[in-house]
Amino acid sequence: MARKQAARKAAQPAAPAAPATIDVLLSEKRSFAPPKGFAAHANAKSAALYAKGAKDPEAFWADWAKQLTWDKPWKKVLDWKPPHAKWFLGGKLNASVNCLDRHIDGFRRTKAAIVWEGEPGDRRTLTYRELYVEVNKFANVLRKLGIRRGDRVTIYLGMVPELPIAMLACARIGAIHSVVFGGFSAEALRDRINDQGAKLLITADGGWRRGNVVPLKKIADEALEDTPTIENVVLVMRTHTAIDVKEGDHVGTGAVLGKVGATGRVTGPHLHWAVRLLGARVDPLSLLAALAPAAQ
């Protein structure tokens, strides 16, 4: 038996030897220059900029960082211990301030910061000044709802301007936000809320997706059946469809805040924000002041 196995093994062809080098089957050396009109609007128009960055990367990025607004200047540009890199050690800044405040006193004040078109064709344009006002108003609402630095906020919205407004408002007061895709199920939303221990949920009555209305409020209500850390829910009234709310819930239009009646239904194109209070102690008049239009 052993002889037969040895004979069969000897009869098998030997495996080909591995090549000493790897052949390159495709070598691409062509380059494609951009159109002159496109290149004329580029931020980096000269190869000298790249050469400067390569020569002294720390000095290069320090120069660019000086264009930002720093609450506290950095002590060291880079701490590089491969594979870990730490930039601008000791420095402190606020992302919301750098996205908005540093632009509102200059020529960008009246420039468009957000140009938005919704699925049904509705449009909104917010200048840097207008966006600054909206973000500060909502940051005040977050504070009135008890959100403090380090608290977690879950955002469950469609693609609406209120999404970046909420994100920038969270960053402004030091709250940690987590954006959950508006197409996720109640179970997926619940798990993400519980994983981060969120105190506040920001969602909408509904959202448009491929011609249909996604019932975000209904999905959120299902998720909230098992989310013990959530204290309040803020709604963006996007689709203006009827939603179920409980008697005593507080709703707002941006400048008006009142209580829902015994019917428990909210409808109408003028309603913009709604605040559902889940047992937390919040003064409705304080929220009214926070939501009121800020001075221009």
Rounded to whole angstroms, what are the CA distances from 55 to 50, 51, 71, 81? 9, 6, 29, 19
CA-angle at 15, arms to 12 and 17, nearest 5°: 155
What tokens does 214 get?
A: 């996604």
pLDDT given for residue 20 in this prediction: 56
pLDDT given for residue 253 in this prediction: 41
pLDDT given for residue 44 in this prediction: 83
Rounded to whole angstroms, what are the CA distances from 241 to 140, 210, 264? 27, 17, 13
pLDDT given for residue 154 in this prediction: 97
pTM of the model: 0.75
Strands 123-127 and 243-244: unpaired
Count of CB atoms within 10 A of residue 196's CB? Answer: 16
pLDDT given for residue 293 in this prediction: 47
pLDDT given for residue 39 in this prediction: 87
pLDDT given for residue 47 in this prediction: 83
Q: How far is CA 246 from the centre of its chain?
A: 29
pLDDT given for residue 46 in this prediction: 82
pLDDT given for residue 29 in this prediction: 84
Grouping H, G, I as helix, E, B as strand and the rest as coil, residue 19 is: coil
pLDDT given for residue 2 in this prediction: 54
Are 103 and 128 spatial neighbours (Cβ–Cβ below 8 Å)? yes
pLDDT given for residue 6 in this prediction: 54
Q: In whole angstroms, what is the distance from residue 288 CA to residue 285 CA?
A: 5
pLDDT given for residue 28 in this prediction: 80
Rounded to whole angstroms, what are the CA distances from 102 to 95, 96, 97? 11, 10, 7
Q: Residue 176, exposed/middle/buried by CB under 10 A (0-12, 13-18, 19+)?
A: middle
Q: Tens of pLDDT along the chain (296 residues)?
A: 555 555 555 555 555 555 556 666 777 888 898 899 998 888 888 889 889 999 999 999 999 999 999 999 999 999 999 999 999 999 999 999 999 999 998 999 999 999 999 999 999 999 999 999 999 999 998 998 899 999 999 999 999 999 999 999 999 999 999 999 999 999 999 999 999 999 999 999 889 988 899 999 999 999 999 999 998 888 888 888 777 765 434 454 443 334 444 444 444 433 455 665 554 444 544 555 555 544 44
**Which one-letter amino acid corresponds to residue 54?**
A
- What is the set of domains in the chain, with CATH numbers? 132-291 (3.40.50.980)
